[in-house]
Amino acid sequence: MLRRYISYTTNKFTNCRHVSQSMLQSTVDEKSGIATVTMNKPPVNSLNLEFLEEIITLLNKLQKDKVRGMILTSGLQKVFCAGLDIKELYKPNPDRLTKFWTTLQDTWLSLYTTSFPTVSVINGHSPAGGCMLAMSCDYRVMVGQNYRIGFNEAKLGIFAPKWFQNTIIAVIGQRKAEVSLTTGKMYTTDEALQIGLVDETCADADSALKKGTHFLNNFQNISPWAYKMTKDINRQSTIQWLIDNKQKDVDFTVEYMQSPGVQKNLELYLQSLKSLPPLKLISEIN
Ligand SMILES: CCCCCCCCCCC/C=C/C(=O)SCCNC(=O)CCNC(=O)[C@H](O)C(C)(C)COP(=O)(O)OP(=O)(O)OC[C@H]1O[C@@H](n2cnc3c(N)ncnc32)[C@H](O)[C@@H]1OP(=O)(O)O
């Protein structure tokens, strides 16, 4: 287990409260009550067990602190989040894979049901689980024209579970979700805007943060209770499905991931990650 620490400091000049864990930084603006959470797990913010545990801990803390909203972004140069850490899926230890998948379900449940509104500022590539991280927020702003976003699971020879697919359907609709998931297409910023994967685009990260804050300001005059009840009712069927099927979903995934065919596909994909030049992979899989 990685060494973990949490520290809290208040900067009297900026009126911001900082919470720093080893892979996540959170700054809460005292005046607006908005938390900006920055993922910082080089090289690509891949979601492994320890990172997911940190995300849950931080979401619980923000909930306890009654923040008014959260902006999730990346501190890396060109990657928002590369999705699940493939090393958790390739040649897995069954006990760890069980814990990993259970923690993934819990992270998604925590993020998808926050009592405060959430925005993702997508300032880098965002494939598969990275795209799902963004989809699990209430609003998405994508930065620049250089990055790709989408669900490329099929290209890895794996498929997305029902709760994952339903989350996408809720954002872009059944037909577009099916085409997107079955083809594994990675979208440009403009394409993502066009199919509704993202709500807004803008040229640079600073403007994206402003747009995110602007969206969160919509809730200044909305009762937090009304916000939370509305969101829960809207998302209820997908959430309830996972709660009712958690163990089945874990058992299936652990068995399926260990099958020789899936392991072969992951091996080939990991090799292609190493052999292709930077960003070639993403454009290859368009
Ligand atoms: C709230 C929770 C929400 C999530 C819920 C999820 C629910 C269920 C999910 C079901 C299915 C999801 C599956 C996945 O997510 S599988 C992962 C899919 N990801 C990818 O295919 C991304 C592959 N990576 C890339 O395309 C590029 O790395 C990228 C464009 C992201 C960055 O390119 P760049 O040129 O900057 O960097 P490199 O390619 O050189 O990579 C640097 C090193 O990082 C390693 N790497 C990259 N991606 C991953 C990864 N996903 N897991 C582990 N390791 C990764 C890469 O191999 C390099 O390593 P080395 O330096 O050792 O060579």
Give the domains, in start order, of the chain with CATH numbers: 24-275 (3.90.226.10)
Name the band, by pLDDT with cuts 50, 70 and 90, for residue 3: very low
| Ligand 1 neighbour 12 (Cβ under 6 A) | no
Q: What is the pLDDT of residue 19?
A: 67
C-alpha gyration radius of the chain: 18
Per-residue pLDDT, 273? 87
What integer pLDDT is reported at residue 276 of this predicted model?
Answer: 63
Tell whether the model's pLDDT for residue 5 goes beyond 50. no
Task: Assess whether the C-beta atom of 277 lies below 6 angstroms from ligand 1.
Answer: no
Give the residue numbers marked as catalytic. Answer: 84, 129, 152-153
Return the residue whose CA atom lies nearest to atom 50 of ligand 1. 85
Distance from the first to the final alpha carbon of the chain: 36
Predicted pLDDT of residue 21: 64
Question: Average pLDDT for residues 235-241, to the nearest whole number?
Answer: 98
Ligand 1 touching residue 44 (CB < 6 A):
yes
51-108, pLDDT tens digit by residue? 999 999 999 999 999 999 999 999 999 999 999 999 999 999 999 999 999 999 999 9
Q: What is the pLDDT of residue 14?
A: 55
Q: Report how far residue 83's alpha carbon sits from residue 147's, in angstroms, rounded to the nearest whole number.
A: 14
- Cβ of residue 124 lying under 6 Å from some atom of ligand 1: no
The tens digit of pLDDT for each residue in 27-46 reads: 999 999 999 999 999 999 99
Kindly report the average pLDDT of the chain as a whole number. 92
What integer pLDDT is reported at residue 15 of this predicted model?
64
Of residues 245 and 5, more confidently modeled: 245
Percentage of residues in the chain with pLDDT exceeding 70? Answer: 89
- Residue 40 CB burial class (10 angstroms; 0-12, 13-18, ≥19): middle
Sheet containing strand 149-150, strands side by side = 126-127, 149-150, 186-187
* Digit-coded pLDDT (tens) for 140-196: 999 999 999 999 999 988 999 999 999 999 999 999 999 999 999 999 999 999 999
User: Ligand 1 centre and the CA of 64: distance in Å?
Assistant: 32
CA of 102 to the centre of ligand 1 (A): 20
Residue closest by Cα to atom 23 of ligand 1: 82
Pocket test for ligand 1, best of 24, 44, 110 (most atoms within 8 A of CB): 44
- Of 165, 65, 68, nearest to 108 (Cα)? 165
The CA 156 to ligand 1 mean position distance, Å, reads 11
CB 197 within 8 A of CB 177: no
Instruction: Please report the pLDDT score of residue 61 as a whole number.
Output: 97
Cβ of 108 below 6 Å from ligand 1: yes
| Dist. CA 120 → ligand 1 center (Å) | 18
Distance 51 CA to ligand 1 centre (A): 14
